[in-house]
Amino acid sequence: MINSISILFVTRDPDLAGQIIGRIRYRGHAVRPKQAGNLRDLARLLQSHRFDALVLIDSNLDIGLAEVGEALHRAGRQTPVVLVSDHGQEQSLRAIDTGVFAVVGRSSDDLAAVMTLRAVDHLNKGREVTHLRTLLREADRRYLLMLDTSRYPIACFHQGIATYANESWRDFFEMDLGESLDQLTLNDLVVPEQQEDLQEILGELRNQSENVETCETLTVRTRQGRSFDADLLLTGAVINGEPSIVVHVSVAGEDPALQGPGGFAIPSAPDRGHLEQLREAPGERDARQGPKADSGSRSTEARAGGKKTGAKPAAAPRQDDAASEKKLLRDTDAMQAEAARSGRSLALLVFAPDALQPDQGARSEIPGNELLDLVQTQFPEPATAYRLRGGQLGVLLPDSPRDELEKRIDAALEAASGLNIRLGDGSGIGGPLSCGAVLADDSGPEAGELLEQARESLGEARNAGGNQYRFYATPGAAGADPQADQVWKSRIEQAVRDDRLRLLYQPIVSLQGEDVPRYNVFLRLTGEDGEVHEPQDFLPPAERTGAAAPLDRWVIQQAIKVLAGELKRDDRTVFFLKLSQGSLDGEPVVDWLRRALDRHKVPAGNVVVEFREATLLTQPDSAAAVASGLGEMGVGLCIGDFGNGLEPFRILDQVDAAFIRLDGSFVNLLTQDQEAQGTVRELTETARSRDRQVIMPMVEDADTLTAVFSLEVNLVQGYFVQPPSEQLDFDFASGL
């Protein structure tokens, strides 16, 4: 799904705004911009739209920070503001003090884009936190309502002080109606001679994850000094955002020990169903309520039945690898929930022997005793190790600073260098390992995605030669990992040498009755393990490492060779070929493209070269020069990802493109969003008035196609028309 953000530019300099938009687009985000040049437009837009960020470019404006702040306040908006200005340091600091998210110089459009994206991320995180707090408050409300109606004495304690007690608790412990809860402590709950035992129980409970239950039989006493034996079930929980201990009470013994004030009867021994439900086996509880967090291959059993069990790790039975992997995912979810309380990070590691091929791990089970023992030695509790599918081992660690974690991974890789690992089929392999690692907290992705990120990093470590580790880095230019980029560069170069690049073709079909065969050309890269990589995986690193230009040449040369054969069947066939930003700085595009066309005797008019809108905004001079040369040669031109700029059609003054391919973000909103429909209609009408043809990409279903028909778009492509294929077999004569 395309990540689309809404930005309000307060400016009278659309060119600079366009450059910032181009830089944001270069980082993989679609932009839905609006512009305000005066207070009236600013107030109107803030009233009718919710923006992810506001960019104030303050030159030649009658609007300053004070006016923007007042307009935001009046509209009830918390939109972060990025100020683009050439004011000095003192004024910039004052702007920061007033609440501006960032101040950037006018010549730093790339930095302005980065800070805008960070402002958007900051806002989204705040929204997520607010949403989660709302959910937690509702959950707390429902939970306390349930406790209010319980006939069993229940109270909640934070840092040993009561924060809640239901009516049954007050009756049970003979509390006065007006007695404040802050006078009620956990320590006073039991007789003095057992208070030390209670503190020991609470200490162990605090070291367990949330929802772990401990049951003890202790002697409790009422506020009036009477005492009796009772079963206490203590559970860790988070209430009103605070870590708490919830205490359920049921009287031990056969006879009622106490008749409470107001006629409240203490439950007798036969009436203990509530306690039994609370103390039932975890497997039975999971069957009724769904899975709860449990420990991994090494665990500490909770107290039960009033008897203290030791904290010594129990040996886990050998599990099926798939089941163990599911257990890792459950435990990761639980640890992320714990991270929400502690504020600490967690680490997920995936190890695999370098000599173990991916398919080999699937065919023969790895006993893993040697490898598992080694990993457990290097990562003792509270870390937990898991056998995973494909012969891999996972390790989950709470509270893991990166510096310390790197030392422990290095020690594990060094210790494994001389290890001999026996496989299930009786063979053996050497012990050098590689490791993929990911660090996260409660704001990170879900457990399944974290595991995939760790595996992706493991693959990069092995592809780089093995016996090393890689940490997962978020994709994108701002957070690019130079080591990972070099891995991709080597992977691309090797794929070219091994002929593991392939072209796919997707038809571009006319909605106006034309039957001209037009195809958009896509590139796929197949890894050494057979995995097929999408362009979004390898093209950004290719751009950053200088590998994009050779890749462009390979694609265009191979596509022209195929086009030459197609022209023998239908001489009207047209191929749309993309040109990356990297190709603008290398060998002159016009020269090598002319040579390729001449070599295969392909007319220039049967090729359309596509520039991304972001490329034209960020490198306007070089892109315009290349486009002009291609146009003079007779090659068609197309602008891709079109429509994100403040004044998108101004690009046509630089590049005389006959085709514009709208940005895919418009499609996501087309069937539900009236504003998106209006924007597309305006773009198509303006394009038609300038004699340009509009292509709508990513048409995935009949509803979208119907909407596109009504907007009078010229051409469409997408999976609903036909998925990309190695075959050029679409029947353009029949159309849609």
Confidence band for 209, pLDDT divided at 50, 70 and 90 = low
Residues 92-97, mean pLDDT to the nearest whole number: 84
User: How is residue 327 annotated by DSSP?
Assistant: H
Query: Rounded to the nearest 5 degrees, what angle is found at the Cα of 137, between the Cα atoms of 134 and 138?
Result: 85
Confidence band for 134, pLDDT divided at 50, 70 and 90 = low
Q: What are the tokens at 525? A: 């890269």
Query: Could you count the other beta carbons within 10 Å of the beta carbon of residue 714?
Result: 20
Over residues 155-171, the pLDDT tens digits come to 999 888 888 888 888 88
Strand order in the sheet with 469-471: 384-387, 393-398, 346-353, 433-440, 469-471
Nearest to 52 by CA among 125, 130, 106, 105: 125
pLDDT of residue 424: 60
Within 98-230, residue ranges assigned H as helices are 109-148, 167-172, 195-206
Cα–Cα separations (whole angstroms), residue 265 to 152, 172, 257, 275, 276: 10, 8, 9, 16, 19
Instruction: Supply the mean pLDDT for the chain.
Output: 80
pLDDT of residue 282: 37
Nearest to 590 by CA among 543, 640, 551, 628: 628
Over residues 432-471, the pLDDT tens digits come to 889 999 887 665 567 888 899 899 899 888 887 788 899 8
Burial bucket for residue 285 (CB in 10 Å: 0-12, 13-18, 19+): middle
pLDDT of residue 669: 74
Confidence band for 487, pLDDT divided at 50, 70 and 90 = confident
Residues 74-86, mean pLDDT to the nearest whole number: 85
**pTM beyond 0.75, yes or no:** no
Give SS3 for 643.
Answer: coil
Q: Is the pLDDT of residue 259 over 50?
A: no
Confidence band for 637, pLDDT divided at 50, 70 and 90 = very high
Query: Rounded to the nearest 5 degrees, what angle is found at the Cα of 695, between the Cα atoms of 14 and 53?
Result: 35
> Distance (Å, rounded) from C-alpha 237 to C-alpha 258?
29
Backbone torsion region of residue 711, taken as left when φ is above 0, otherwise alpha when ψ lies between -120 and 50, otherwise beta: alpha
Sorted by where each starts, the structural domains of the chain and their CATH numbers stand as: 3-129 (3.40.50.2300), 150-299 (3.30.450.20), 321-479 (3.30.70.270), 487-716 (3.20.20.450)
